[in-house]
Amino acid sequence: VWSSMAEVMPESVSVSVSGTTVTVTNHTGKDIPALTVYCRDLFSEGYFGGKAQEYIINNLSADAAAAVETMNSIMGMTEVVCVAISE
């Protein structure tokens, strides 16, 4: 699992956010069949709203990147809180 607050597996994936676009890069050297990106709205240094938004990326090739377009945040900025890799 990757979290922007505590990078626990930067050797596996990296994540960048530009506006409402989240880009995930695979550094494992192997294809990742599926992963889920979890995002929350960040407002004044705290999360706003209930459940995290989930975005699924399928078949991320080794050393490749994939981008997902998140829902527009009306209260602040989109923040990635977790990336879960499915085996």
Q: Alpha-carbon torsion 60, 61, 62, 66, what sign? A: negative
Q: What is the rounded distance in angstroms from the CA atom of residue 11 to the CA atom of residue 25?
A: 10
**Tens digits of per-residue pLDDT, 11-70?**
789 998 887 888 999 998 999 999 999 887 766 666 556 677 889 999 999 999 999 988
Taking the alpha carbons of 54, 58, 61, 65 in that order, is the dihedral positive or negative?
negative
Residues 20/72, Cβ–Cβ less than 8 Å: yes
Residue 7, pLDDT score: 46
Q: Report the pLDDT value the prediction gives residue 3, as an integer from 0 to 100.
A: 43
Determine the pLDDT at residue 9. 59
54-64 pLDDT, tens digit per residue, is: 899 999 999 99
